[in-house]
Amino acid sequence: MFGYYFDLALRSLKRNRVLTALMVLAIGLGIGASMTMITVLHVMSGDPLPGRSGQLFYPHLDPRPLDNGEDKDAASRPDPSANLSWPDASALLHAHRAQREAAMAGGNLLVRPQRQDLRPFFQNGHYVSSDFFAMFGTPFRAGAGWSRDDDDQHARVVVLNGELARKLFGQASALGQTVRLGDNDFRVVGVLDDWHPLPLFYADATGHAFGKEDGFFLPLASAIELKFDSNGNMSCWGSSSDNRNSDQCTWLQYWAQLPDATQARAYRDFLADYWRQQQAHGRFPRPVDARLYGLMAWLDHMQLVPGDVRLQLWLALGFLGVCIVNIVGLLLAKFLRRSSEVSVRRALGARRRDIFLQFGMESAVIGLAGGALGLVLAQLGLYSVRQRPDDYAQLAQMDVPMLAGTFALAVLASVLAGLLPAWRACNVAPALQLKAA
């Protein structure tokens, strides 16, 4: 039956090639623009750690004074109290109320290769505490992370990402090798398997959440001892001025792994108690408002997806809506011109449902053709996005779900556009049309 309707649809569309081309072009343009922006939003708002993100939480404390100039800070990022000070992060680490927890900060260090053919270069990385690797499930190609004892002893150890390890040591094993970062030597204890979650949820929100992967990871305590600079946001008040050891400077990110809702509630209560304890010591003057964000909720809270991307998506969907309205008009004119044909079929025993399915199939064929054109236009649109200087631009690649979604959206849009014309056509009175003929 559907093969018969498909054949009728092809015959009908071939009879008026210009009108068919206009409808395919309209749906293709609308689908191309929409899928370009849907794909960009999809890659920017995806789950960076599928299967593990439900257990990861970001604690939110606010030690700032009441008169900290919030309006000025709020202009620089969605939440000026997002980070922790080193004393607060250290206290949470030593309390150890979560299954795993880690403090971290981004950095950019000069790498001095031992190879004579490789010049020194700057590399992004992160200073982290030991639970970082187990908590985030980082895949190791060789070796492992360091221990809590290494944290306490400020050990000079480092974990390299796969790309940096290959750059420094080629095909040779990097384990046990020495890497010079800044003016200090670090021993390689592990090599990751090109780990690059997107977005870089663990990084400072003002950093490059969609930029290049971190090349190295070294102990946070060692970085503080060596006075390595961090490249994230740092907010200080009072008498402190860029003092990373001060309880009046927030600059660290903090994540905790909590396997179930019960432990999450207990950890939130612990944060509230910690807030009250600090108030007893003259800190945390604001009312107690300890929060605990899940990973995906935190990404949404920090507004990592730029507002202009969402705006462009709505504009593209609006353009698709205009295209659908135009196709409704074209299909309505096309179907009603075939009233005599419909009346003959109805007189020969065809039901309204048969006529409706026939025209619905014709709309679907238009959608498939428009989807093919829309796919080509979407690829061109994504190519243009990748030419932009934004951090997320290189992520604009269409995966299999988006590829299938292109055709699904095109067929859905065309079928919806054909509902009214098909309903009007199948409700034509056959007797009047046959009498006029």
pLDDT tens, residue by residue, 102-151: 999 999 999 999 888 899 999 999 999 999 999 999 999 999 999 999 99
- 8-state DSSP, 84: B
Q: Which residue has the tokens 């660290």?
A: 252
User: Would the pLDDT of 77 be above 60?
Assistant: no
DSSP-assigned states of every residue in 247-277:
TTEE-BEEEEE--SHHHHHHHHHHHHHHHHH
pLDDT higher for 289 or 307?
Answer: 289
> What confidence tens digit (pLDDT) does each residue in 321-371 have?
998 888 888 888 887 777 777 777 767 677 777 778 888 888 888 888 888
Looking at residue 207, its pLDDT comes to: 57
**Mean pLDDT within 42-71:** 83
The pTM of the full predicted model, rounded to 2 decimals, is 0.76
Residue 139 in tokens? 């895949």
pLDDT higher for 152 or 207?
Answer: 152
Cα 127 to Cα 105, 254, 340, 437, distances in angstroms:
5, 12, 76, 83
pLDDT higher for 412 or 138?
Answer: 138
CA 293 to chain centre: 17
Looking at residue 429, its pLDDT comes to: 66
Determine which helix (DSSP H) or strand (DSSP E) holds 187, and give its type and residue range. Answer: strand 184-192
**Mean pLDDT within 255-264:** 96
